[in-house]
Amino acid sequence: PPNKSTGTLFPPPPSSKAHKLTLVLALATLVSTFGSSFQYGYNVAVVNSPAPFMQQFYNQTYYSRHGRYIDDNFLTLLWSLTVSMYPLGGFFGSLMVGPLVNKLGRKGTLLFNNIFSIVPAVLMGTSELAKSFEVIIVARFIVGICAGLSSNVVPMYLGELSPKNLRGAIGVVPQLFITIGILVAQILGIRNILGNAEGWSLLLALTGIPAALELIFLPFFPESPRYMLIQKNNEEKAREALRMLRGRDDIDDEIEEMRLEDQSEKNEGRLSVFNLCSFRSLRWQFISIVALNMGQQLSGVNAIYYYADSIYASAGVKENYIQYVTVGTGSVNVFMTIAAVFIVEAAGRRMLLLVGFAICCIFCVILTVALNLQNGVSWMPYLSIACVIIYVIGHAIGPSPIPYVVTTEMFRQSSRPAAFMIAGSVHWLSNFTVGLLFPFMERGVGAYSFIIFGVICLVTFVYIVIVVPETKNKTFLEISQILAKRNKTKIILDQEIVVNKPLQEKGPDAEGVNKVTKF
């Protein structure tokens, strides 16, 4: 019978007791996010401050080889490649998510991924000695692979470690460490620290330190219990992991919920990316993760991180103060992401997405007006800076962290790796597009670039209003039941489990109907 408390056809778990944050779960979250997510943020912002000195190195290296300096257009192209090779690597890293997490597990993939951080850290740190700017471009691609994997695997790993009442808050922590990584790169990039002609190569190389620490400490924490039970059929290891994570022996309710999920999708098997794109039962989940990840990246947030200095210069900020304004913006980003950790379970995922995209849309428009009027009105540069900061606040509370949480929650175990491959590919291709095209957009249309970003925010806002449901404090099965209604399919759990049966089709021989699994 339907569960009246949740409005779904799934029985309530044996225990409705809320789980507490244990030391093991907290430390596993900190180690994985610092070792992986931190690097993503660090490498987003690390090339921003030392850009003039790195470009000078490119010029000097080219002169020593050819006896002439690089043409301005070609230098712009080389620098765009340096910036955009990172998200391009992220795209290829996203394509590796499914095969690796299914073969090595979630934790195993994170450990393996550190290869793609330590090697480029060495390459970038020695690039000046090698007198090769090509090494930097290649290393940015490799460290992008690291970011592409970690940005997808960390949310998946933490989502599967977390109880449902903490899943949203813990799911925001990877984004928090991304923002901390951005802030640390901005601080270390100050001219008096490492953002200078002597220190930029060391600044780039420091990304290897979090990877080394993760290699040392992550092996002491458990693998995903869902991976162990559902994909490895190892209930003993799953129970052992859950006991460590929950700090108690009474974990039968979660084991039972995993079994129900396993049984409900038994006949689907492990879904490929093609299955995910073609299955009617996953249609709106697929469209939603594409829309949210495109909206997140094409909204222009990484244009601000990649080219913050040039944006503030356009806003009229004096050169000596730009680096400090950039650090201030990064600090606001960290503070608001911390706020999102604490309010996501109360406000819900959908509300934070709506509020965040609305703020970004409004202040993209205002920023466009301010940038166009700043030469004629003395106080307009201050309004431009305020717009950037408020835009960052809006992005930090919703569009930045929540798509990762929603991607984890909209899919069950068999389809989650393929879902993260798709979400990650869209995320990084969109990131690559912004990183590559924004310098030319800035030259071509100037301040009106942000009108384009504002329109994208508005379209994403409307999509969320119409399609995206609230998922807070629900099990993965309950969320599947909500989305089944929009897909016009049924997931029924009673004496037998019928998986993703189209509403208008009847009988076991109807086309598109999955087999019945006895439970």
What's the one-letter identity of residue 27? Answer: L
Torsion of CA 303, 305, 311, 312, to 10 degrees: 160
- The residue assigned the tokens 């244009």 is 303
| Overall residue count recorded for the chain in this entry | 519
Has domain 20-221 been given CATH number 1.20.1250.20? yes
Phi and psi angles of residue 268, each rounded to the nearest 5 degrees, phi first: -75, -30
Phi and psi angles of residue 495, each rounded to the nearest 5 degrees, phi first: -75, -25
- pLDDT at position 315 is 67
User: What DSSP state is assigned to residue 246?
Assistant: H
- pLDDT at position 514 is 39
Q: Which of 224, 16, 277, 266 is closest to 102 using CA atoms? A: 224
- pLDDT at position 270 is 57
Low-confidence ranges of the chain (pLDDT < 50): 1-16, 494-519
Same CATH fold assignment for domains 20-221 and 274-495:
yes
- pLDDT at position 461 is 96
Residue 202 burial (CB count, 10 A): 13
C-alpha 235, offset from chain centre = 30
Beta bridge mates, 498: 492, 516
Q: Which of 157, 156, 154 is closest to 177 using CA atoms? A: 154
Strands 516-518 and 489-493, bridge-based pairing? unpaired
The model's pLDDT over 336-391, given as tens digits with 9 standing for 90+, comes to 989 888 888 888 889 999 999 999 999 999 988 888 887 777 778 778 888 888 99
What's the one-letter identity of residue 326? Answer: T
- pLDDT at position 218 is 95
Phi and psi angles of residue 74, each rounded to the nearest 5 degrees, phi first: -70, -35
Q: Which two tokens stand for residue 435?
A: 């990183």
User: What DSSP state is assigned to residue 22?
Assistant: -
Q: How far apart are CA 352 and CA 369, in angstroms?
A: 26
| CATH of 274-495 among 1.10.150.20, 3.90.1300.10, 1.20.1250.20, 1.10.10.10 | 1.20.1250.20
The answer to pTM > 0.75 is: yes
- pLDDT at position 505 is 42
- pLDDT at position 271 is 63
> Which residue ranges make up each domain of the chain?
20-221, 274-495
**Cβ distance 204 to 58 under 8 Å?**
no
What's the one-letter identity of residue 431? Answer: N
What's the one-letter identity of residue 307? Answer: Y
Q: How far apart are CA 45 and CA 27, in angstroms?
A: 26
- The residue assigned the tokens 């990650």 is 424
